[in-house]
Structure 1
Amino acid sequence: MDVGAGNGELLKAVQLLAPNVNATGLETSPMKIKGAGNHGLRVVDRDLATIEEKFDVVSFMNVLSHVSCPIGFFKALMRLLKPTGCLFMCTGNAADLTDPGQNPSQTYSLP
């Protein structure tokens, strides 16, 4: 599960390297979901709290700066992992972490 999958760049790379892997993305932008779907990628808009499925890998890249409650976000991600699962994260700009509410129009909240 790639959270904040955008147009599916990471999902596409996973499918190229491991075609038998069932890669799914989570995204809130309808335009990006449509773009990913045009490339045959599975990207959906769902609330993290409603996802019951467990995953071997949960990833996110450059998403943390858009999250209003990082601890709640991490708890939600950890709930999605299988017991032996792996959380992969990347932030391109550590300075983004100093003020997570700096751009309220791009800040997402979790219950």
Structure 2
Amino acid sequence: MDTIESQRTFWNAWNAENREARVGEISRRQAEIVLDWLGTLGRDDLNIIEVGCGTGWLCPHLARFGRVTGTDLSDDVLRRAQLRWPHIKFIAGDFAALPLSEEAYDVVVSLEVLSHIADQPAFIAGIMRLLRPGGILLLATQNRTVLTQRCHIPPPQPGQLRNWVDRNELQKLLEACFDVERLVSATPVAHRGLRRILASQRLNNVLKTMVGDRWRDLLERRDWGWTLMAMARKAER
């Protein structure tokens, strides 16, 4: 059974090994989209919380749009993050049990957390309660269709929950609490078939010198992305 303690142990180790030294292409693309979407709001006074911030690497980038809080189960990792970025407020613990103020935030950011949650509707509802009326959720999660049909993914380890969703499931989850304004895929990835070549980083790098990001953007529009990304708004009163 994957208890909170086993999950905490797994994510402390995973974040220390995979995120403290470097941030991969998939995460960089997620950050690029989140920061672009935040830029469209035209504000620098937002109260932002990142739910499942991992090592906290995105929080300093979010800070140019306002005040930032980062939360994660990985308490050891967050202690080191607080030393790196003292201007960010980090809170360690299980999101479902944290004493966070309701309707206190303008924006919630959550990257690749949803798939590691057992009760996803409760998680989305919890995020909704944190947001002020009209507040924005910026969420990224793994694209089950691509990962199961096109990729080779090792089985989950003890403490690692895995509940991927597809586009329709994500849309339905979000629509229970939010108005979904954007839902896109990001970072084309494939490990088998012809798509492995068409989505390869080598081909993308070659084409980028000739046509910029248009090839990547085309594949993302065809839902070939590893990631599903959503921008959703809590209803105004």
Q: Shorter-normalised TM-score: what interval? A: 0.7 to 0.9
SS of 1:9's partner is coil
Which of 57, 61, 68 is 1:23 aligned to? 68
Cα distance, 1:103 vs. partner? 5.3
CA contact (8 A) 1:36 1:42 kept: no
Partner of residue 51, structure 1? 100
Matched, 1:11 2:59: yes
Q: Cα distance 1:87–1:13, how it changes in 2: closer, same or farther (>3 A)? A: same
Report the CA distance between 1:52 and its aligned residue: 1.7
CA distance in 2, matches of 1:71, 1:103: 24
Deviations 1:4-27 (A, max 9, x none): 011112211112x33xx2100111
Per-residue Cα deviation, 1:10-56 (whole angstroms, up to 9, x for no partner): 211112x33xx210011111122112101223210244453124100
Where in structure 2 are the equivalents of 1:52-91 lying within 5 Å? Answer: 52-53=101-102, 54-91=104-141
Aligned residue type for 1:5:
C
Q: Describe the superposition over 1:53-96 as per-residue Cα deviations: whole angstroms up to 9, x where unpaired.
A: 410001100101110011010000000000021011012x2129
With a CA cutoff of 8 Å and minimum separation of 6, indicate the structure with the bigger relative contact order. Answer: 1
Percent identity between matched residues is 31
Gaps of 5+ in 2: 1-48, 149-155, 162-237
User: CA–CA distance in 2 between the matches of 1:48 and 1:82?
Assistant: 18
**CA–CA separation in structure 2 for the residues paired with 1:27 and 1:56:** 19
* Higher helix fraction (1 or 2): 2
Q: Distance between the aligned counterparts of 2:120 and 2:158, measured in 1?
A: 15
Length, aligned pairs only:
100
Q: Which has the larger radius of gyration?
A: 2
| CA root-mean-square deviation | 2.2
Q: Secondary structure of the equivalent of 1:76?
A: helix
TM-score, length of structure 2 as denominator length: 0.38
Unmatched 5+ residue regions in structure 1?
Answer: none
